[in-house]
Amino acid sequence: MLEELRISNFAIIDELNLRFEPGLVILTGETGAGKSILVDALEALIGGKADTTYIRSGADKAIVEGDFLIPGNLRPVLLEILQREELDEDSQHISLCREIRLNGRHIARVNGRVVNLALLREIGETLVDIHGQSEHLSLLKVNQHLRLLDNYAKNADLQAAYQKIYRQLLEVRREQHHLRQIEQEAARRLDMLQYQISEIENAHLKPGEEEALTAERNRLVNAENLATLVQQSILILDEGTPEHPSLLEQMGEVVHHLGSLIRYDPSQSALLETAEGIFDQLNELVRSLRIYGEEIEYNPKRLDLIEERLNLIQSLKRKYGDSLQAILSYARNARRQLEEITSASERLEDLTHTELELMKELKEVALKLSANRRQHSQALAQAIEKELAQLNMEKARFQVQINYLEAEDGLPIDDGRKVSFSPNGIDQVEFLIAPNPGEGFKPLVKIASGGETSRLMLALKGVLAAADDVPCLIFDEIDQGIGGRVGTVVGEKLWHLARRHQVFCVTHLPQLAAFGDQHLLVRKTIVGDRTITEVQTLSGEQRVEELAQMMGNLNPATLQSARELLQFVREKVAQSTLS
């Protein structure tokens, strides 16, 4: 409920700070006093129309603030929104604010923090419903009709069962879509992947192979030079020439001389051991060179094979990576992609079967839900027509239109048709009204008369009170075109409605105003050379006088009539409370 409303520099309102009570809040006052301006301010507060024309002359901005108590049944919905936006400071209260600035940069706040207008409107629409001159009419929104019908028909369990299957179906279809994308993309690459894998696998690559082949190629290409170098080294080490004895021959002489030396000085035996070791190493070097020299050969065929193999490796490197390891890694990834294609196809078969089963289950629950809606739609229409008759619209007829929308990819139903389905089922629901005989049924939004609209909203709200969870309802001009007798009926209905909601009503009818739990008088006064709007809470004799003035001139007769009216209302309310 709306606990407090603060307005500054809004139209002819200078400063207002109003506190409201639960139940039925009545606003009365002369035409032009500012009653509708209060409604405009509330509409701006919840994200409705707001432009610079609302700013009071001489001010640079208008501000509207409201503090709401969140009813228990609405807390989960609002807290989900607030937590999503990190605005959940208080689970029981919420504060909204709208600043309208001359520079055109309007500011919206929730719980003191700046938010965008869409969020303010989303929250505002859950808290306040305005009926009458305003366009902010939730019951005129077709997308609300299905929800209201379901609440009236108590379809919560069927809806939960339907939505559980619907979510499972969506999950299956999301996975199908993902796998089909993989399959479609992979199908285009399938031949290429198989070719690439085959090309790499047929090459039988081995780690380190390229380095070994490169070294062997170098040996084959330089075989003649290698053989010459080996022969020259052996010549120096072992063969020698007449002019230059070999190193082994000379080293043998060194060993011989040192052998003689240690006979004279045994302490130098280490020198002999070193020399003998060098002599043995030279011998081993010569032996290794002879073996290496024997292995050196010029083999053009082998060279061609090596060149061919290295060219293949270079070709694979250009295609798949800059090293053998990268090429082998590419092949592993390609094989993994092929495995995904195979598994995707198998999984798609399973999902197709699951989808068919879920569609059968969904159809069964959807048809039950639809049948229950159709059954209760008639009862709802009759109840609303009864309400309208009591509101001086006895000729009006109400209809809940329920249709299916055919769709090629829809849900198959028993008559062979495929119909569109959504999280709420297969039904397209819209409320229709025929205000006068012979006019035919029309959508609610086509009703031109503000008074008819307000009374229709009242009838709908009265019947759907338990189904509607918006806590604060505002009726502006609901008494247009009705007299005192019907005004009493409207007042009683509003009072009953206010047992479940906080209801604000702007009225000129004393018969309606007498039912208020709180009565606010709106009036204009002149302060200096400026017009301002004031609001006074009436009680006791002040309220009697206001009701008397609404009946005509203030005199003993109207005062007595006002007292009798209040007494009549008290008795009516007492009877309703007891029953």
Paired residues of 523 in beta bridges: 534
Distance of CA 54 to the CA centre of its chain: 34
Q: Residue length, the chain?
A: 579
**pLDDT tens-digit series, residues 511-524:** 999 999 999 999 88
**Strand intervals (E) in 404-461:** 406-412, 418-419, 428-434, 442-443
pLDDT tens series, the chain, 579 aa: 999 999 999 988 889 999 999 999 999 988 877 888 898 899 999 998 888 889 998 899 999 999 999 888 788 888 888 888 878 767 788 999 999 998 878 899 998 899 999 999 989 988 998 875 544 456 677 888 888 888 888 898 999 999 999 999 999 999 888 888 777 776 667 777 778 888 888 888 888 888 888 887 888 888 888 888 888 888 888 887 777 788 888 888 898 999 899 898 889 889 989 999 999 999 999 898 888 888 887 788 888 888 888 888 888 888 888 888 888 888 888 888 777 777 777 788 888 999 999 999 999 999 999 999 999 999 999 999 988 888 878 888 999 999 999 998 889 987 788 999 999 999 999 999 888 887 788 887 776 455 666 677 778 777 876 667 788 988 886 776 667 777 888 888 889 889 889 999 998 899 999 999 999 999 888 877 788 888 999 999 999 999 999 998 889 999 999 999 999 999 988 887 776
The predicted-structure confidence for 338-393, as pLDDT tens digits, reads as follows 777 777 777 888 889 999 999 999 999 999 999 999 999 999 999 999 888 888 78
The span from the CA of 515 to the CA of 20, in Å, is 16
Torsion angle defined by CA atoms of residues 543, 545, 547 and 550, in that order, rounded to the nearest 10 degrees: -140
pLDDT at residue number 449: 58
pLDDT for the residue numbered 579: 64
What does the pLDDT read at residue 368?
Answer: 95
Q: In the prediction, which pLDDT does 134 show?
A: 47
What pLDDT is recorded for position 443? 86
Contacts of 536 (CB under 8 A, 6+ apart): 520, 521, 523, 542
Q: Which two tokens stand for residue 575?
A: 């009877």
> Are the C-beta atoms of residues 450 and 137 closer than 8 Å to each other?
no
At 223 the pLDDT is 82
Nearest of 461, 539, 542 to residue 502 by alpha carbon: 461
